[in-house]
Amino acid sequence: MNSADTLNYIEGTLRPSRSGETFEKISPVNGQVLSRVARSNADDVRDAVAVARRAFPGWAALPGVQRGQTLHRLVRVMQDRQAETAAIVAAESGKSAKDAAGEAAGAAALGLFFAGEGQRLYGRTTTSSVANRRAMTIRQPIGVAGLIVPANTPIANVAWKAFPALVCGNAVVLKSAEDTPGTAALFAEMSHQAGLPEGVFNVVHGLGREAGAALVEHPDVGVISFTGSTAVGREIQRVAGVRLARVSLELGGKNPFVVCDDADLDEAVRWAVLSAFSNAGQRCASGSRIIVFASVADEFRSRLVEATLKLRVGSADQDDFGPVINQRQMDAILHGVDEARQSGARILTGGRRAKSGQLAHGFYIEPTLVDTLAADHPVSHQELFGPVATLYTVSGFAEALAMANDSPYGLTACIHTRNLDRALAFVERVEAGVAIVNGGTFGSEPHMPFGGVKQSGNGTREPGTEALDVYSSLKDVYLNLDDRRL
């Protein structure tokens, strides 16, 4: 990437913002300007929504199978341009080329799943209590879908929402993440290359309070899907609720990672490190609360510290994780660590900005482990969204489960144990949308529903076939027959 403009994509054409204003996209690797980005406002959003609304009837009228075939072509384009996609993802997010390539491949795999759903947009036939009556349901699109994505896994996040929205027959206006606009712009270019009709998929760039808010408020946007912070999600729910728009929210997490006294400690340490620090901890499913039985706490802590100290920070393939996405996020994370330190918590590793050598100008944070932090301390309940995990010691299973559930969030949870009874009890009783045994707190698959409870979401699930329920409506159909006409 160079310092060229990143423009909006509306009705198949690239457009600057109506105001002509731009903002700078800063590289998290070195602090340099990557591009100037169209700073859209309500006028640009109105243009995009109007275009999408005009394009919607034609796209919706296509049989689902044909829509799926178009999306299959888009998947093939994504596969052909995977190296280019990975390069932009790496440049914008700071992750390694290897990790970016893996993400690009995963986005295409998710697209492939939803393209196939064009053949399976099932309603159902059933019985009626009335003689000579047939009852059934059919699935229909909603209209214009407003999609708002975060920057942590940029191409995966776009695919995660765009493919199910499109296969259901909606036209889309995507508000790109402020920190990864180039990735969204490339997806738009690939959709054009694949032959998606003009106006069916549109991208506006800009700041959340200007472009994102305008998209949420627009009366012609029938469904809004947002992934991001709980605070913003709550505001979206409030604003969209006034006009009874459908809303799908996938929000924050402060996810528990429980280590029992019978756990395989080598595996538990390996997965704890991945859960806490991969992608620089920038996962809503990050394992940021590590809860350990007292009888193995000293040994586990020692092994975890040893493994954490071996991690390499940087953006090369040989490194374990890269920078956080921007200066603001880095400062907020370090402020949270300082609050924990000032309250008397022990910082076992890290706790500082990583700035040696080539890291000096980027937004890198050392992998950080915090111990002896009170369970009721604000940082114990706050999603820091960075490479920071806190350790807690408990007496046994009951206390571990209670602590796991003592959170405003309920996205993912994990337990490490060889005891099947414990494992089954945990997955049934933990207050989370995703429960995992002997693995990490992350790792969703395209065909599986993902989402949380409590302040981690509003109950919807994306992806999986459940995402079709976000982007379509079921219509009841009754056919009344007359035997006299036989």
Query: In sequence order, what are the beta bridge partners of 320?
Result: none
Q: What's the CA gap between 42 and 213, in Å, rounded?
A: 8
Query: In sequence order, what are the beta bridge partners of 370?
Result: 347, 390
Q: Which long-range contacts (CB under 8 A, 24 or more apart) does 436-441 make?
A: 436/412, 438/263, 438/264, 438/267, 438/271, 439/271, 439/414, 440/257, 440/271, 440/274, 440/275, 440/287, 440/414, 441/255, 441/256, 441/257, 441/275, 441/285, 441/286, 441/287, 441/412, 441/413, 441/414
The answer to whether 27 touches 94, Cβ cutoff 8 Å, is: yes
Q: Which residue has the tokens 């020692």?
A: 302
The answer to whether 122 touches 199, Cβ cutoff 8 Å, is: no
Active site residue 168: no
Active site residue: 217, 284, 414, 431, which one? 284
Active site residue: 92, 217, 250, 431, which one? 250
Q: What's the CA gap between 27 and 16, in Å, rounded?
A: 21
Name which of 466, 473, 432, 460 is nearest 447 in CA terms: 466
DSSP letter (8 states) at residue 208: I
Q: Which two tokens stand for residue 412?
A: 């993912």
What are the DSSP calls for 239-252, one per residue?
A: HHHHTT-EEEEE--
Strands (E), 354-471: 368-371, 388-394, 409-410, 412-416, 434-437, 453-454
Q: How many CB atoms lie within 10 A of CB 475?
A: 11
CA dihedral 293, 295, 296, 302 (to 10 degrees): 110
Q: What's the CA gap between 220 and 87, in Å, rounded?
A: 36
Active site residue 260: no
DSSP letter (8 states) at residue 83: H
Query: In sequence order, what are the beta bridge partners of 478?
Result: 135
Query: In sequence order, what are the beta bridge partners of 289?
Result: 256, 390
Q: What's the CA gap between 53 and 10, in Å, rounded?
A: 12
Please state whether 12 falls in left (phi above 0), alpha (psi between -120 and 50) or beta. Answer: left
Q: What's the CA gap between 177 and 175, in Å, rounded?
A: 7
Q: Which residues are catalytic?
A: 250, 284
